[in-house]
Every structure is written in C-alpha cells, then in structure tokens.
Amino acid sequence: MPKKIKSIVVDASVARAANDKVQKVPPNPPATAYWPLLCAQFLKGMLEGRYIAVFSETQNEEWNKHRSAYSAKWLLGMTSRKQIRYVRYTDPLLETKAQATQTSDKEKNAMKKDFHLIEAALASGQAIVSLDDTVRGLFSQVAKSVSELRKIVWGNPGKPDEELLQWLQCSAPAEAKRQLGYGSNTPKNTKKKTTSSRKTTKQTGNP
C-alpha cells in the first residue's frame, strides 16, 4: 500500500492562480480558464484535510510576490492552524547531478529556477503541486538518471483529469503513477515478462 502524503510543496504558480470567485467562462475556453477555481478548491482541500504546506526560503519569497488575495487569506488560515512548515535541504551536489543530465541551456535554466521545489519536497513529504507541466516533464527525464527524484509525487491542480482534490480526500496516497520516476523501468520489466512468457510456452509445448 502506498504511503500517505501529509506535507505538500505548493508552487507560487498555484498561489497566483487561485481565486474562488465564480468567473464567466467564454465559449470553448482554454484550459487556463478553469485554473483559478480548481486551484482554490485544492488549497481549500489542503486546509480542511489538515495537510501541511511546505515552504523553502525561495518559495516563500515567490509566494510573497505572486500570491492572489485568496491565497493570502488561505495562508493566514493555514498559519493559524499550524499547518505551515519551513524547510531547508542541504545537498549542493544534487542540483549539479540533475543539470548534468541536460544539454540545453534553456532546459537547465528552467530546472534551476524551480529546483527549490525539488529540494523542499525531499526535505519533507516528497510531494509538489504546480501548474508548470514543462518543468515537471524535465524533472521526470532527470529522474531516470537521478534516483533521488524518482519517488517525488508531482501533481497539477489545474488539470481536472488528475483529480487532485479527490486525491486529497483519499488521504493522498503516494501512487506510483503520480511520481516523477513513473515508468522509468518499464522497458526492462517488459523485456523480462516477455522472456518469461516465451519460456512458459516452450515448457508447455514440450512436456
């Protein structure tokens, strides 16, 4: 059974988007039109579910710059309930290892900007929520080579199909499909299964 996540790193992109006011959505709206309400619902789910919001120093600075009125109010509620945790991760070589897996300066800069999320997750409950799927994809690539990242759960509260609010309501299990390293070993496992299947067929055909 997957372990239950209780501490979550909330990226400033979620803090900026969150808004619980019902807004008029235009016909055929882009996916971003639903972000404000979905992010607000997720943050409310964290508050009511007694989850801990994890902050690094860099992350706290970004929240102070970008948080919406709703997020500011939410943060006060979380603080009053003692559901805030400040962390610091100390492994200066980890980011170097991660950067070494990429060749593009653009990709390296994108990871450097958000690496504080990875560090905060490793220092706490190993879970991150963010609206940035691009950097999530980069870190998923890194996880194939850097084992420290593989168990980190990463979700996007702005994508309804990820069902993160329901995930919170189910005690936030650290399901493999939500982890950065999900699928890293699929080719190897598939090969083993195929070999095993062939052996079984041979034995069955030749008693």
Each residue's pLDDT expressed in tens, for the chain with a length of 207 residues: 889 999 999 999 999 999 998 666 777 888 888 899 999 999 999 999 999 999 999 999 999 999 999 999 999 999 999 999 999 988 889 999 999 998 899 999 999 999 999 999 999 989 999 999 999 999 999 999 999 999 999 999 999 999 999 999 999 999 999 999 998 754 444 444 444 333 333 333 433
156 token code pair: 């996007």
pLDDT at 14: 98
Neighbours of 205 (CB within 10 A): 7
Place of tokens 């759960």: 153
Find, among 151, 129, 147, the residue nearest to 91 by Cα: 147
Give CA–CA dist 45/50, Å, rounded: 8
One-letter amino acid of 39: C
pLDDT at 10: 98
Instruction: Decide: 142 and 149 in contact? Cβ < 8 Å.
Output: yes
pLDDT at 29: 83
SS3 104: coil
Instruction: Decide: 49 and 70 in contact? Cβ < 8 Å.
Output: no
pLDDT at 91: 86
The domain ranges of the chain are 7-205
Q: How much is the pTM?
A: 0.86
pLDDT at 173: 96
pLDDT at 189: 42
pLDDT at 22: 64
Place of tokens 């639903």: 34
Q: C-alpha distances in angstroms, 160 versus 32, 37, 82?
A: 11, 11, 29
pLDDT at 51: 98
SS3 152: coil
Helix (H) or strand (E) holding 191: helix 186-205
